[in-house]
Amino acid sequence: MRSLRAIGSMAVACALACACSSSSEQQPIPDAAVVPETGPVDKATSIAFEPDAMLTLAPGEKTTLQIVVQPTGVHSVRFSLVGDSLDASLDADLLQTTELGRAAVVLTAPQAATAFQVRAVADDGPSAQAVVSVSGTGFAKLTVVPAYAGARSTPEWTATAAALISCSDKKGIPPQDGPLMQTAPSGSPLVLDGLPAGPKLAITLRSGHAVGGCSDLVKLSAGEERTVSVKVGDRPIELASTDFELGIVLEPDGTALEPWLEASTAKFVEAFAPKGNEAAALLDAMQSLAPVPAEFAKARLNGKWDEAAVQYLQLLGKPLSERIHSWAAKGFLPLRGGVGLTGRIRSTQESPSQPALTVETFGGLDAAKVGWSYDYMTSLSADPGDTVHVAGAVYVLPTAYVAAAVDSATASAEVPDGLSALRHVVSCSKLADALATTTLPPTCLMSCIEKLCMAGVGRMWETARDASEDSFDAASLSFNVSAAAQVDAEAVIVTMAGTWAGEFTSGQDDVSVKGTATGTAPPSP
């Protein structure tokens, strides 16, 4: 035994020695094996069954389903059975793909006729479905014809079939899709093939998700080809997703509001220069803003500035109030021409029938300038046949509206708004020259007087603009719109056109108003 071990040890030693001698003298040492490094695989962007075709199986039959995931690499794929799969089974519910993004799962069909789907989800992201129809006697073909009396657009139709279920189990319009599905353009044949013969079937039909219906089939025979008419109806308008631009036009025009415009302008002018004494109003504003109002008052009295200011303003030609009337009249032209209100109406899931109206313009003028800047609650409803009703009320501050009209009328490259236009007309540097012929206050010399004039005109403007808000004087426009709506594939309003009627109320005065109304959904982002 010892001799055998010794011989073996010598043989091993000899072999090692020979190998070392051979390697060192005749062959270079080979490079170490390089194992390619693989970085993290991107998340799956798509998954598909191959082939992507409906499977028709006999009860208990086994079949292998192949899937491919993009991009290539190792991905996790979850499998599940969807629908009335009965006792069908999969040999795995979670698999890892190969480096090529491929995997296979074995499906065992149930022991009775039905239809269902095998669903595969890659990396908890994209998914794919394989449709499976099972029958022991054979399969049938069904041509589905819509029976629709509505007016909604139906560019294409989708028919589905579900086994072992009745239409009474499928609530809503449109009913829930079945596992077997086919889509075709409106007017083209819509054929469901591979329907299992034997079990009862619920056949659903829809156009988008705005029109839908269902029809029961008790039994189909193997090899049968049948035509079925499915009565479909309109899904109620999806008020919770309402989002459209509302436009209200006064017809025949806005002359019914003429008395309100005149009264609003008169109130603005009176607040701008009480009792029409523009010179006194300007000097009063300047005095209130002076560094030392008492010194300004003394210089005003001693220098007879009121008389000087009256004479100066007379040299300007038209009184400031007359200019304001003229500018306002120009700014009122859109409202007088019938331009009413524009705004955006948006609903929420919490209050679908009480959407918020964000007013954008009133009488062609920026709503933020003519009233309080907040959303108004409206009421929204829809009748069968897609007649939509919108009702609400908005408010406008009369003197703020006049100021916005003057801003609109005077806006130019040189004069951006009404206040700038008034300052340009008054020309405060020249007024300062006229007042400087007498002794100026020691705390407010020539440049100070000019700045006080500019600020004084601003104070007069702000007082006039804010007169309605300060006195809680607001006019209201109530409206009740009735319009025919067009909806999209999800039964959401995309356009509407109709008429409206309401009241314009200012103080104790009510004026009946009416006109046309339109609505248009904003472009998709």
Query: What does the DSSP assignment read for 400-459?
Result: HHHHHHHHHHH--SS--SHHHHHHHHH-HHHHHHHHTTSPPPTTS-HHHHHHHHHHHHHH
- Examine residue 253 and state whether it is found in any structural domain, yes or no: yes
CATH number at residue 207: 2.60.40.1120
pLDDT tier at 38, thresholds 50, 70, 90: very low
Taken as a whole, the chain contains a residue count of: 525
CB atoms within 10 A of CB 314: 11
Percent of the chain scored above 70 by pLDDT? 92
Residue 262: the pLDDT is 97
Nearest alpha-carbon partner for 317 in 412, 410, 427: 427
Specify whether 280 is located in the same domain as 152: no
Residues 282, 304: Cα–Cα separation, whole Å: 14
Residues 200, 113: Cα–Cα separation, whole Å: 10
Specify whether 361 is located in the same domain as 301: yes
Residue 4: the pLDDT is 33
Specify whether 316 is located in the same domain as 197: no
Q: Is the predicted pLDDT of residue 19 greater than 50, yes or no?
A: no
Mark 131-166 as b/e (b = at least 16 C-beta within 10 Å): bbbbbbebbbebebebebeeebebeebbbbbbbbbe
Residue 357: the pLDDT is 97
Domain boundary among 134, 152, 183: 134
Diameter of the chain measured on Cα atoms: 143
Mean per-residue pLDDT over the chain, rounded: 92
- Cα of 297 vs its chain's centroid, Å: 58
Specify whether 308 is located in the same domain as 272: yes
**Helix, strand, coil percentages for the chain (3-state, nearest 5):** 30, 35, 35
pLDDT tier at 373, thresholds 50, 70, 90: confident
**CA angle centred on 393, ends 392 and 396, rounded to 5°:** 155
pLDDT in tens, 158-216: 999 999 999 999 989 999 999 999 999 999 999 999 999 999 999 999 999 999 999 99
pLDDT in tens, 438-463: 999 999 999 999 999 999 999 999 99
Residues 6+ apart with CB under 8 A from 477: 340, 341, 362, 393, 394, 395, 396, 502, 503, 504, 505, 513
pLDDT tier at 21, thresholds 50, 70, 90: very low
Residue 371: the pLDDT is 82
Strand positions, DSSP E, 84-224:
89-90, 94-96, 102-108, 114-122, 127-134, 139-147, 156-163, 180-185, 191-196, 201-207, 211-217
Q: Is the predicted pLDDT of residue 25 greater than 60, yes or no?
A: no
Percent of the chain scored above 90 by pLDDT? 88
Domain boundary among 134, 161, 176: 134
Specify whether 110 is located in the same domain as 254: no
Specify whether 168 is located in the same domain as 317: no
pLDDT tier at 277, thresholds 50, 70, 90: very high
Query: Which residue bears the tokens 């008790």?
Result: 218
Domain boundary among 91, 106, 134: 134
Q: 427 lies in which domain range?
A: 243-520
Specify whether 289 is located in the same domain as 431: yes
Identify the sign of the CA torsion 507, 509, 510, 514. Answer: negative
Beta strands across the sheet bearing 55-57: 55-57, 127-134, 114-122, 76-83, 94-96
pLDDT in tens, 238-257: 999 999 999 999 998 888 99
- Examine residue 474 and state whether it is found in any structural domain, yes or no: yes
pLDDT in tens, 114-169: 999 999 999 999 999 999 999 999 999 999 999 999 999 999 999 999 999 999 99
Q: Is the predicted pLDDT of residue 358 greater than 50, yes or no?
A: yes
- Examine residue 352 and state whether it is found in any structural domain, yes or no: yes
- Examine residue 525 and state whether it is found in any structural domain, yes or no: no
Q: Is the predicted pLDDT of residue 18 greater than 50, yes or no?
A: no
**Pairwise pLDDT comparison (61 vs 5), residue with the higher score:** 61
Amino acid at 202: A
**Pairwise pLDDT comparison (382 vs 29), residue with the higher score:** 382
pTM: 0.81
pLDDT in tens, 316-331: 999 999 999 999 999 9
Specify whether 149 is located in the same domain as 194: yes
Specify whether 151 is located in the same domain as 291: no
Q: Is the predicted pLDDT of residue 10 greater than 50, yes or no?
A: no
Specify whether 66 is located in the same domain as 124: yes
Residues 391, 500: Cα–Cα separation, whole Å: 9
Query: Which residue bears the tokens 């794919």?
Result: 128
CATH number at residue 126: 2.60.40.10
Q: Report the pLDDT averaged over residues 218-233.
A: 95
- Examine residue 10 and state whether it is found in any structural domain, yes or no: no
Residue 374: the pLDDT is 82
- Examine residue 224 and state whether it is found in any structural domain, yes or no: yes
Specify whether 378 is located in the same domain as 294: yes
- Examine residue 23 and state whether it is found in any structural domain, yes or no: no
Q: Report the pLDDT averaged over residues 390-413.
A: 97
Specify whether 154 is located in the same domain as 122: no
Q: Report the pLDDT averaged over residues 55-79.
A: 97
Q: Is the predicted pLDDT of residue 364 greater than 60, yes or no?
A: yes
Residues 332, 339: Cα–Cα separation, whole Å: 10
Residue 219: the pLDDT is 85
* DSSP one-letter code for 254: S
- Examine residue 305 and state whether it is found in any structural domain, yes or no: yes
Number of structural domains found in the chain: 3
pLDDT tier at 485, thresholds 50, 70, 90: very high
Q: Report the pLDDT averaged over residues 49-64.
A: 96
